[in-house]
Chain A
């Protein structure tokens, strides 16, 4: 599998000053034909990764490969990748057709070929009939489509998208998420999508790279990352979660909030201090007697799909609960959850260690 990577980062470091490290020895491989998302807060280095792939910047150390070819020093106009910019960067002096045709004209293709390709690209993004419009006459969503058409008409191996949906309103954004995902399937090329919006990342991606402070925190499918966050940062950044300190008594047995619970994690040292994650939607509101935990309700917000309930248990831990049942503020309620709802995280564990532990643990179980 290693050889067919379409983009490979090998120990890439990016520094703007001795103290200003944007990327810190980042290594990863992207496979062709997949939808990747780089997810992280602003300043985490995700856009820098995109600029390194596009060729707008060169790494301070390390090598970026496209295919098998090292790309250091290769300018942007010599790379078979295209970018959809955050502000679209459409040329204001050209109409829609000429914007899309820009790359083809530079390649000096024949007129009828350009005509055919541009028409096809505009059909792909549902903009047939807009050829002669000025950019200033297009709405935000339409500009977005022009920008996408302008990039895909060049048939790049990789399409880079730099927070392209952030300027759109919620409804349009959701629509475009579906459309982008659909577009990627139809084109079959690799998409690298940069966003700080975790919902967007979960909804669209084959694989997500969660970044923070210039390092990759975790990578995996949306389900892996949501269900098995590797550390507090990932658990906190992806979705909402209750993160508590706890203690691993032994495999399958964890203590937190003053009680012991069954869980499905293992491979820890006896009595190792850990952090546990429980997603608010995995908590069921029941009567205090039925609950595994008793919580005093502090506030309740109606969110449309569910109520967002905040409560506090006897040891003072804060609990966030999503429930379709409404409760009364001040009441004591019980919380019920299954063993699989509890996810245990080791302090300071890297992604490799995490994978190794899971593998070793699975083997031990298998042997039994």
Chain B
């Protein structure tokens, strides 16, 4: 087979894969404009469901809750994650460092159900009322390891003689941190923040466990509404959520694009 043919087959394969991956979302988006009121037959274009979403005060409050939780938890976990990454970076022994990093990664790969259930047990044990605080704490907990994972490579890429140079020029420990280390690893910090934000926004399992009466986030709300019966306002809501996620991904892409330009000084020979 000629190379051009090969290319078209692999292109086709790629197309099919992406079509299958995006088909359900597209389906959902298309029916969010269906005036028929069901997911069975498309009858005509309407923005009725979007109107319904925006007139639903309870839903808007939940959106607000979700955003507040996401922003707070990602901000706090960014601070904690950076401190954690710095601490792991300082560990001299390779073995201990790897062990700490593995412990960190276990938290990322372990099932959300396990994390959610264990938090539920913890919160009921210490008598914390389920609601805003419990969700916030849980979100911070699963976001910190993500931030660590994004920041640590930036620290390891950093030329260690930058630290010596800063001290040599008179910087104290705090000065080295604020004037050199944090600016140099800033791309990692931003990436970590954005990742934490997206994880928090779309988390369902953990939130489902630790949320209580009168407090809900979007994903939990969509789940409970979808169980109650089909309403296309859910489609509209999901479409909006999908758009926000896309926006975040684009934002993340732009940031990483800006940082992929050569940033390291002194390595060219």
List A residues at the B interface (Cβ < 8 Å): 54-56, 75-77, 81-83, 85-94, 102-103, 106-107, 135-136, 139-140, 143, 147, 150-151, 154, 167
CB A133 to nearest CB in B, in angstroms, measures: 11
- Knowing A92-B184, A93-B186, A136-B261, say if A87 contacts B266 (CB, 8 Å): yes
The reply to whether A106 and B169 contact each other, CB–CB distance below 8 Å, is yes
Q: Does B3 contact A (CB under 8 A)?
A: no
Choose among A56, A90, A94 the residue that contacts B167 (Cβ–Cβ < 8 A).
A56
The reply to whether A87 and B263 contact each other, CB–CB distance below 8 Å, is no
Q: Does B269 contact A (CB under 8 A)?
A: yes
Closest residue of chain B to A85, judged by CB? B161
Interface 0/1 of B174-200, CB less than 8 Å to A: 010001100110100000000000000
Q: How far is the CA of A88 from the CA of B171 in the complex (A)?
A: 17
The reply to whether A91 and B168 contact each other, CB–CB distance below 8 Å, is no
Q: Which residues of chain B are within 8 angstroms of A82 by Cβ–Cβ distance? A: 168-169
- Knowing A106-B175, A136-B265, A154-B169, say if A85 contacts B184 (CB, 8 Å): no
Q: How far is the CA of A76 from the CA of B261 in the complex (A)?
A: 32
CB A352 to nearest CB in B, in angstroms, measures: 34
The reply to whether A89 and B186 contact each other, CB–CB distance below 8 Å, is no
Closest residue of chain A to B184, judged by CB? A93
Q: Does B38 contact A (CB under 8 A)?
A: no
CB B267 to nearest CB in A, in angstroms, measures: 7
The reply to whether A136 and B170 contact each other, CB–CB distance below 8 Å, is no
List B residues at the A interface (Cβ < 8 Å): 159, 161-162, 164-172, 175, 179-180, 183-184, 186, 261-269
The reply to whether A135 and B265 contact each other, CB–CB distance below 8 Å, is yes
Q: Which residues of chain A are within 8 angstroms of B268 by Cβ–Cβ distance? A: 139-140, 143
Chosen A-B contacts, 16 in total, with CB atoms closer than 8 Å, are: A54-B168, A76-B164, A77-B175, A81-B168, A87-B266, A90-B265, A91-B183, A92-B184, A93-B183, A103-B170, A106-B175, A135-B266, A136-B262, A136-B264, A140-B268, A151-B168
The reply to whether B264 and A85 contact each other, CB–CB distance below 8 Å, is no
Q: How far is the CA of A86 from the CA of B169 in the complex (A)?
A: 16
Q: How far is the CA of A93 from the CA of B189 in the complex (A)?
A: 15
CB B175 to nearest CB in A, in angstroms, measures: 6
Q: How far is the CA of A150 from the CA of B265 in the complex (A)?
A: 14
The reply to whether B266 and A107 contact each other, CB–CB distance below 8 Å, is no
- Knowing A75-B167, A102-B166, A102-B179, say if A87 contacts B172 (CB, 8 Å): no
Closest residue of chain A to B168, judged by CB? A83
CB A113 to nearest CB in B, in angstroms, measures: 15
The reply to whether A103 and B266 contact each other, CB–CB distance below 8 Å, is no
- Knowing A87-B161, A91-B180, A93-B183, say if A76 contacts B168 (CB, 8 Å): yes
Q: How far is the CA of A167 from the CA of B172 in the complex (A)?
A: 29
Q: Which residues of chain B are within 8 angstroms of A103 by Cβ–Cβ distance? A: 169-170
CB B93 to nearest CB in A, in angstroms, measures: 15
- Knowing A87-B266, A93-B186, say if A102 contacts B159 (CB, 8 Å): no
The reply to whether A89 and B263 contact each other, CB–CB distance below 8 Å, is no
Q: Which residues of chain B are within 8 angstroms of A92 by Cβ–Cβ distance? A: 184, 263-265
- Knowing A54-B168, A106-B170, say if A93 contacts B269 (CB, 8 Å): no
CB A100 to nearest CB in B, in angstroms, measures: 10
The reply to whether A93 and B171 contact each other, CB–CB distance below 8 Å, is no
Closest residue of chain A to B262, judged by CB? A136
Closest residue of chain B to A135, judged by CB? B265
The reply to whether B170 and A91 contact each other, CB–CB distance below 8 Å, is no
Q: Which residues of chain B are within 8 angstroms of A89 by Cβ–Cβ distance? A: 159, 161-162, 164-165, 265-266
Q: How far is the CA of A92 from the CA of B180 in the complex (A)?
A: 9
Q: Which residues of chain B are within 8 angstroms of A55 by Cβ–Cβ distance? A: 167-168
The reply to whether B165 and A85 contact each other, CB–CB distance below 8 Å, is yes
Closest residue of chain B to A140, judged by CB? B268
CB A282 to nearest CB in B, in angstroms, measures: 37
Q: Which residues of chain A are within 8 angstroms of B269 by Cβ–Cβ distance? A: 140, 167
The reply to whether A83 and B170 contact each other, CB–CB distance below 8 Å, is no
CB A334 to nearest CB in B, in angstroms, measures: 46
Q: Which residues of chain A are within 8 angstroms of B167 by Cβ–Cβ distance? A: 55-56, 75-77
Closest residue of chain B to A146, judged by CB? B265
